[in-house]
Amino acid sequence: MRQVPRGSIWGLVALALCVGFGKARAQQVSRSVGAAPDYSQAEVHILPVQGNIYMLVGAGGNITVQAGNDGVLLVDTGVAPMSEKVLAAIRSISSRPIRYIINTHIHPDHTGGNEAIAKAGMTIAGGNVVGDIGASAGNQAQVIAFQTVLDRMSSSNGPQAFPQAAWPTETYTTPERKMFFDGEGIQIIHIPTAHTDGDSMVFFRRSDVISTGDIFVTNRYPIIDLERGGNIQGVIAGLNRIIDIAIPEGIAGADLQEGGTMVIPGHGRLCDVADVVFYQEMVTIIRDRIQDMINKGMTLEQVKAAKPTRDYDPRYGATSGIWTTDMFVEAVYKGLAAKPGAAGGN
Amino acid sequence: MRGTTPGKVLGILALLILGAGGGRRAAAQAPPGWANSSGEDPSGTWAPRFDEDWEERIPGPEIGDYLGLPINDAARLRGDAWDAALVELPENQCRMHGSDYGWRGPSNLHIWQDVDRATQTVIAYHTHLSAYGAEQTIWMDGRPHPPDYALHTWQGFSTGEWEGDQLVITTTHLKENWIRRNGIPRSDLATARVHLMKHGDYLTVAVIVYDPIYLTEPFIRTTDFVYNPQAQMAPWPCEPVDEVDRPAGQVPSHVGANPFLDEFPARYGIPPEAARGGAETMYPEYQLKMKQMKLLPRPAKVVPNR
């Protein structure tokens, strides 16, 4: 059995080093991990999901591939050094052009491949579009994301970690954007202030697959990027939205509470709604405990000392690495303690 | 459909020759995946026997009863925080038991084979439990388990092989489920090994759970069935409904201390320390240690036995 977490860890290392959770966090990552990751031995694995959908594992964050007669649509692109291997994996699924990339959020373990993979694609463009801005408009795949992803990637206030060629070419600002591609309706759903302030989930309606980005992962507590507008309440709202959309399989009138809608998490294994329910219950219970402690006037240090996650730590916790249990508790505490509207920031 | 290989033909001949000389011996030496000809084949319909662990299995375990479970602190705390109202949530009402626990329920059991037509090789066994309509496939053809990034299910992914007269099943890719139905969890990273042992008209199912997350030692327990060719495999219609009006996304749990934990040790005269479970409480010598422990006062009104 192949081990996947290495790629995921590397993706997060890239996340912390390239975009970072601030300089101090990047230094912490550097200390704990050491040299830059070597991707030469990393592999991309392809898991057929259902309908038109495949899941690529091992290139940082999970990548969702929708392949059909109209071409290829991707949800996220993994880390930059894995782009060639990701492209090779996509080519083994479909020889048709890569038309669209949807970024679930800004972090480079999900957007690092934007530049190389978008260049390998081709937008459906013609008529007035080509006439107005030239034939080059069609020379790359379109990159779609929530507006704040572009805002942050192109920000002049911070380090220019993202090359312009990796930026979204199309953004949306509404709660939801809809499109139709490869014979199915696709809903791009914005979840405000969750993992970041620019999160999107993608629901493939005919294939019945949801690609969640890092609002839902299976291998750790949810990362809440407070500096980029994340908040525990948004993560829980996102998990509840997945549960609301997903429909489990049934046989002869019996709801089996598994199967049916498939859920591709930002990191970790393929899931269905029952897995999301377990995770949502865990995150909600921890949120409720920390809120109760805040209501009792406990300080952050007191909350950490009380270990409100201790029953889930063997499964999701970490004492080292880029997202420790302490960091998670701190992010939950600060998100809950902040006045409404004060969570996150630029 | 698989083709017939020379090796398989020779195997069939060998089995027939051995079978003529003594069925039981032939079965013990049968290669994995071959139909067992000596009567140990567990196919058929079976009815449960509740002589063992009735209190835990049918009325259900008491809140805070972790006796005899080799659990760690994390599992204990999951149990402490567990609120039975969690089962009322629509997304949990029809949640079936995992294949390592489902044998414990009030279920008839049906076991049958898939046999390759050309070679008469057993490709798979299937089990169906009437509770929740849980159905497990046990692959006997030597296929590998899926990669760790594949889907986990209630029944998991199972492969089987014969060890003597026992069908030994290894299951991975399980979803989280119970160790005990009072909130003591078994994680989705656990592996289960199940031994099916047929002796006459009885079937003993021994389940060993290995859980690196919540157990400090492997946990073993047995469940018995009796052969019943008239057993009905009734349907299990289950449709989630809103049983209680509560805010969307609310998850019942004991956020602070669970006020009910002392009820079980007080009612049964068991030291509260022992009720907390742990590997030590599985072994007979622990009874000596229990004699040195303090008891809680019995409740004034004794609850009748269920």
In the A/B pair of chains, how many CB contacts fall below 8 A? 126
Q: Are strands B219-227 and B166-172 parallel, antiparallel or unpaired?
A: unpaired
Q: Is the ipTM of this complex over 0.95?
A: no
Model confidence over B187-246: pLDDT tens digits? Answer: 999 999 999 999 999 999 999 999 999 999 999 999 999 999 999 998 888 889 998 999
Decide which of A10 and A325 is more confident.
A325
What average pLDDT does the structure give for chain A? 87
Q: Residue B6: its pLDDT value, please? A: 45
In this predicted structure, the answer to whether residue A246 has a pLDDT above a threshold of 60 is: yes
Q: Which pair of tokens denotes residue A154?
A: 């192109």
The pLDDT of residue B236? 87
**Of the given ranges (A169-173, A202-206, B91-95), which has the lowest mean pLDDT?**
B91-95
CB–CB contact B148 A269 (8 Å):
yes
- Nearest CB to B248 within list A240, A285, A310: A240
Is the CB of residue A13 less than 8 Å from the CB of residue A30?
no
Mean pLDDT is lowest, of A128-142, A175-189, B190-204, for: A128-142
In angstroms, the CA B114 to CA B119 distance is 12
User: Which residue in A208, A256, A262, A309 has the most chain B C-beta atoms within 10 A of its own C-beta, making it the best mutation to test that interface?
Assistant: A256
Would you place residue A254 in the very low, low, confident or very high pLDDT band (cuts 50, 70, 90)? confident
Please check the confidence at residue A7 and state whether its pLDDT lies above 50: no
Residue of A nearest to B82 (CA): A285
Report the length, in residues, of chain A: 346
Rounded to whole angstroms, the Cα distance separating A104 from A199 reads: 5
**With an 8 Å Cβ cutoff, are A243 and B153 in contact?**
no
- Of A27-41, A155-169, A220-234, B147-161, least confident by mean pLDDT is A27-41
Inform me whether the C-beta atom of residue B153 falls under 8 Å from chain A C-beta atoms. yes
Q: What pLDDT is attached to residue A157?
A: 67
pLDDT at A79 over 70: yes
Q: Looking at the partner chain, which of A254, A271, A289 has a beta carbon nearest the beta carbon of B238?
A: A254
Beta bridge partners of B45: B110
B249 at the A interface (CB within 8 A)?
yes
* Interface residue A247 vs chain B (CB under 8 A): no
pLDDT level of residue A38 (50, 70, 90 thresholds): confident
Among A56, A240, A258, A287, the strongest candidate for a mutation testing the B interface, having the largest count of B CBs within 10 A, is A258
Q: What was the pLDDT predicted at A129?
A: 58
Task: Please identify among residues 297-326 of chain A the ones whose CB lies closer than 8 Å to any CB of chain B.
Answer: 310-315
For A253, the closest chain B residue by CA position comes to B237
In this predicted structure, the answer to whether residue A111 has a pLDDT above a threshold of 50 is yes
What are the 10-residue block averages of pLDDT along chain B, 306 residues in total? 42 39 40 50 95 89 97 98 95 94 94 95 96 95 97 98 93 97 98 95 97 98 96 89 91 96 96 98 96 91 59
Best residue in A50, A244, A273, A285 to probe B by mutation, most B CBs within 10 Å? A285
Provide DSSP, B224-239.
EEEE-TT-------B-
CA–CA separation, B30 and B7 (whole Å): 14
Contacting residues of B for A332, CB less than 8 Å apart? none
How many residues does the structure list for chain B? 306
Q: CA of A52, closest CA in chain B: separation in Å?
A: 17
What pLDDT score was predicted for residue A339? Answer: 62
Nearest CA in chain A to B146: A1
In Å, how far are B62, B264, B271 from B268, measured between CA atoms?
Answer: 11, 6, 9
Going along chain A from its start, the domains and CATH numbers come out as: 5-280 (3.60.15.10)
Q: Which residues contact A310 (CB under 8 A, 6 or more apart)?
A: B73, B74, B77
With a CB-CB cutoff of 8 Å, which residues 38-77 of chain A face chain B?
45, 47, 55, 57
Position B299 scores a pLDDT of: 85
* Higher-pLDDT residue of A130, A265: A265
Q: Please tell me the distance in Å from B303's CA to the nearest CA on chain A.
A: 31
Distances (CA, A) of A42 to A57, A108, A123, B15: 10, 17, 30, 47
Provide the pLDDT confidence category of residue A9 given band limits of 50, 70 and 90: very low
User: In the prediction, which pLDDT does A271 show?
Assistant: 98
- Work out the percent of chain A whose per-residue pLDDT is above 90: 76
Residue A232 has pLDDT above 80, yes or no: yes
For testing contact with chain B, the best of A267, A270, A278, A294 (most B CBs within 10 A): A278
* AA identity, residue B51: D
The beta-carbon neighbor of B253 closest among A55, A288, A310 is A288
| Chain A contact set for B234 (CB, 8 A) | none
Q: What is the pLDDT of residue A36?
A: 65
The pLDDT value given to residue A242: 98
**Cβ of B150 under 8 Å from any chain A Cβ?**
yes
A292 has a chain B CB within 8 A of its CB: yes
